[in-house]
C-alpha cells in the first residue's frame, strides 16, 4: 500500500491519541480470588500489548462484590485491588499500549458459574451469594437467581460504586474507562423494557429507562478527567420483539455524547436467552455504522472481526472509528503485527522478537539464549 492503512492511522479520543485503531475487547477470564488481579491477568493483557494493540481493556471489573458475574470475576470495589491493577497498567504503558478498564455490575446475571463449570446459579455454599439485584424481580432464565428489585437506596449505592471505581481506576493509572451497559448486565437490564418493569422514575418511558446509565456516567465524569476517554459499551439490540433496539440506541448515544462520553462500543444481545442472532463476520458492524452516522459520535465495531482486510474495510468505509477484537486476539496475540504484514505496512516488533519476526531474512536465526550458551 502506498498510503498508511486506516487500521494504523492514529485515533484521538478526548486528550489521548492511540497509535492505531486496534483495541483489545474486554474478555472475562474468571481467574480472580476476591476480585484481585494476578499474574494471569498481567500475562493475558500484557501479551496483547507486546503484540501491538493500541488499547487493551480489562475484563469486566465489578464495582461491588455482588456485582460479579461469578465468584471468580475481577473486581475494583475496594482500594486493595488497586496495586495489582496498577502493575498491569504500568506494563501495558511500557509496551506503548494504553490501558483501559471496564466497570461493570452483573445485575440479575450475578452469582453464576464460570463457563467451564456449568451454567446458572452458584449457591452460597459454593462461593455464591443471595443478594442478587436487578431493575425488576425477573430472572434471566429459570436456572438463574431470582433478583431483588433495586430500591432507591440500592440505585444510589450502585451509582456511587461506579464513581468510586472510576477513582480507583484513575489511581491505578488507567487511561480509559469503559462503562459496561451491554450483554444483559445491570445497566443494560434497566435500558430494556423486557427486563425493566418498574413503575417509578427508573422504569417505563425511554427517559426513565435510560436514567440510571446517565446517572452513572455523570457520577464517573465527576472524578474522571475530561482529557481521559470515557467509553460506554451497549447492546444495540436485544434481538427480541418489544425489546431494546437500534433507534433507541441511536437516541441514547446522542444523550451520552452530551454527557461527555467519547466513544460508543457497539455490541448486541445478551439480555434474553434463546433469541435468534444472525452471527457472521462483522454482523454487528452495521449497528456501529448507524450510531456513528446518526448520533455523530465515534463508534467501535466488535464481533466476528478476524481478518486484516475485513477490519481495514470497516474503517476505510467509515463504519467505525476503531475495531475491538476479542476471540481473534486469543487465537493470535500478535494480530496487529500480522495485520500490518498483510496490509504491507511496516510495524515494529518488540526488539526481543526481531530475529524471529524478520521478513527480510526468514531463515532460522539463533535466539539470544542459544548465543549465551543456555
SS3 call for 52: coil
> What angle is formed at CA 177 by the lines to CA 257 and CA 133, rounded to 5 degrees?
90
Cα pseudo-dihedral 185, 146, 69, 54, rounded to 10: 0
The catalytically annotated residue of 30, 144, 185, 334 is: 185
Residues 6+ apart with CB under 8 A from 177: 100, 101, 102, 103, 166, 169, 220, 224, 228, 229, 230, 231
Alpha carbon distance 64, 144 (integer Å): 19
Alpha carbon distance 28, 78 (integer Å): 19
User: Cα–chain-centroid distance for residue 224?
Assistant: 17
Consecutive H or E run containing 342: helix 335-342
Closest CA to 45 of 32, 63, 58, 33: 58
Is 185 one of the catalytic residues?
yes
Q: Mind telling me the catalytic residues?
A: 185
Amino acid at each position: 500500500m502506498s498510503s498508511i492503512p486506516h487500521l494504523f492511522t492514529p485515533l484521538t479520543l478526548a486528550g489521548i491519541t492511540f497509535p492505531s485503531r486496534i483495541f483489545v475487547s474486554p474478555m472475562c477470564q474468571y481467574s480472580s480470588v476476591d476480585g484481585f488481579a494476578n499474574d494471569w491477568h498481567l500475562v493475558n493483557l500484557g501479551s496483547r500489548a507486546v503484540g501491538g494493540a493500541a488499547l487493551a481493556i480489562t475484563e469486566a471489573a465489578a464495582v461491588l462484590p455482588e456485582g460479579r458475574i461469578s465468584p471468580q470475576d475481577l473486581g475494583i470495589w475496594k482500594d486493595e485491588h488497586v496495586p495489582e491493577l496498577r502493575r498491569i497498567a504500568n506494563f501495558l504503558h511500557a509496551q506503548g499500549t494504553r490501558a483501559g478498564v471496564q466497570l461493570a455490575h452483573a445485575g440479575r446475571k450475578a452469582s453464576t458459574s464460570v463457563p467451564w463449570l456449568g451454567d446458572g446459579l452458584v449457591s452460597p455454599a459454593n462461593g455464591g451469594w443471595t443478594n442478587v439485584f436487578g431493575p425488576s424481580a425477573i430472572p434471566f432464565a429459570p436456572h438463574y437467581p431470582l433478583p431483588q428489585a433495586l430500591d432507591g437506596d440500592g440505585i444510589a449505592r450502585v451509582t456511587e460504586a461506579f464513581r468510586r471505581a472510576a477513582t480507583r481506576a484513575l489511581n491505578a493509572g488507567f487511561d480509559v474507562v469503559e462503562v459496561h451497559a451491554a450483554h444483559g448486565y445491570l445497566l443494560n437490564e434497566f435500558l430494556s423494557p423486557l427486563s425493566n418493569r418498574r413503575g417509578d422514575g427508573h422504569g417505563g418511558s425511554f427517559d426513565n429507562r435510560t436514567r440510571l446509565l446517565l446517572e452513572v456516567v455523570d457520577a464517573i465524569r465527576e472524578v474522571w478527567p475530561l482529557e481521559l476517554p470515557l467509553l460506554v459499551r451497549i447492546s444495540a439490540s436485544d434481538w427480541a420483539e418489544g425489546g431494546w433496539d437500534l433507534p433507541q440506541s441511536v437516541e441514547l448515544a446522542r444523550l451520552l455524547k452530551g454527557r461527555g462520553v467519547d466513544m460508543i462500543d457497539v455490541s448486541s444481545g445478551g439480555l434474553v436467552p434463546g433469541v435468534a442472532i444472525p452471527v457472521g463476520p462483522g454482523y454487528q458492524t452495521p449497528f456501529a455504522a448507524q450510531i456513528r452516522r446518526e448520533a455523530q459520535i465515534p463508534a467501535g465495531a466488535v464481533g466476528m472481526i478476524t481478518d486484516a482486510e475485513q477490519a481495514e474495510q470497516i474503517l476505510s468505509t467509515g463504519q467505525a472509528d476503531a475495531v475491538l477484537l476479542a476471540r481473534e486476539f486469543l487465537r493470535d496475540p500478535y494480530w496487529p503485527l500480522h495485520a500490518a504484514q498483510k496490509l504491507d505496512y511496516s510495524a515494529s516488533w518488540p526488539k526481543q522478537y526481531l530475529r524471529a519476526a524478520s521478513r527480510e531474512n526468514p531463515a532460522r536465526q539463533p535466539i539470544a539464549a542459544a548465543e549465551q550458551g543456555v
